[in-house]
Structure 1
């Protein structure tokens, strides 16, 4: 049985949400257009690359807690609370949606970090505190692209 099974269950969902946000951010990167194209294109590239590393570290933390990481896209989609973006989303609307998603994940990370702290799991707590900072910064940067 996994250590801190309540925390690992929540962390598994957070991994799936982080993966979903990675895909949404990369889709915004691919489809950005308009007068601020280059700025948003570079910003979303940096953000999806950061999310790629984050999801790997989070999944490895699950394994360190003796819990399985999500396996495959079907399980990721089943576990994720973030929903896919509409196909016909303007670049500005996509930036706004990504900002909202990042803010939501910062809140979710805070909740899980508090549970990890209560369970005495300081490594998971600290990892999630770093995610709070990363998601809050990403949200702020994305909001700066929305008029």
Structure 2
């Protein structure tokens, strides 16, 4: 006798669906900013030239590698909250606060663009804390805190390259 297939249980992690949906909307924007920052950093790694080539090429590689790994963490948090993660250029372009850079900027301008993009990504993460705190969603708060630390530190290091 075949056993009867059980219905998939509703998500019951202690955060109501309406709050999870709002958190996911914010995390989706954060994922879009993070992916856009990743692409920008990888593009600059490929195309940097000039006297700082070696140091910037290596720095950008470290940064885009770290960013690539973070994308999975953010997307998997969205999935754990019960919703699909955005994953197309079209969705990312619609959700991101960071605008793509046209052409190939000079090395110093690449650094400026990355400072702006790192700080924009940090602002997007920070904007979610009230919602996450209200929902008592510590795992999302943990992801955001870890990412904020990276984005703020990276922005500081990049900005230091621009100081006279």
Shorter-chain-normalised TM-score: which range? over 0.9
Query: Aligned partners of 1:3 and 1:115: how far apart in 2?
Result: 8
Query: Aligned partners of 2:19 and 2:83: how far apart in 1?
Result: 8
Q: What is the TM-score normalised by the length of structure 2?
A: 0.84
Contact 1:2 1:8 in 2 (8 A): no
Alignment of 1:109-124 (within 5 A): 109-124=125-140
1:71 Cα shift? 2.8
1:113 Cα shift? 2.6
1:68 Cα shift? 0.7
Query: Aligned partners of 2:49 and 2:161: how far apart in 1?
Result: 12
Is 2:50 the counterpart of 1:29? no
Structure with the greater alpha carbon radius of gyration: 2
1:2 Cα shift? 6.8
Q: Which residue is equivalent to 2:105?
A: 89
User: Which 10-residue stretch deviates more, 125-134 or 75-84?
Assistant: 75-84
Query: Aligned partners of 1:9 and 1:39: how far apart in 2?
Result: 37
Secondary structure of 2:33's counterpart equals helix
Q: In angstroms, what is the RMSD of aligned CA positions?
A: 1.4
Q: Which residue is equivalent to 2:154?
A: 138
Contact 1:103 1:135 in 2 (8 A): yes
Aligned length: 147
Q: What is the TM-score normalised by the length of structure 1?
A: 0.93
1:86 Cα shift? 2.1
Query: Aligned partners of 1:15 and 1:65: how far apart in 2?
Result: 14
Greater share of residues in helix = 1
Q: 1:32 to 1:88 in 2, by over 3 A?
A: closer
Q: Which consecutive unaligned segments of at least 5 residues does structure 2 have?
A: 1-16
Q: Which consecutive unaligned segments of at least 5 residues does structure 1 have?
A: none
Query: Aligned partners of 1:144 and 1:40: how far apart in 2?
Result: 13
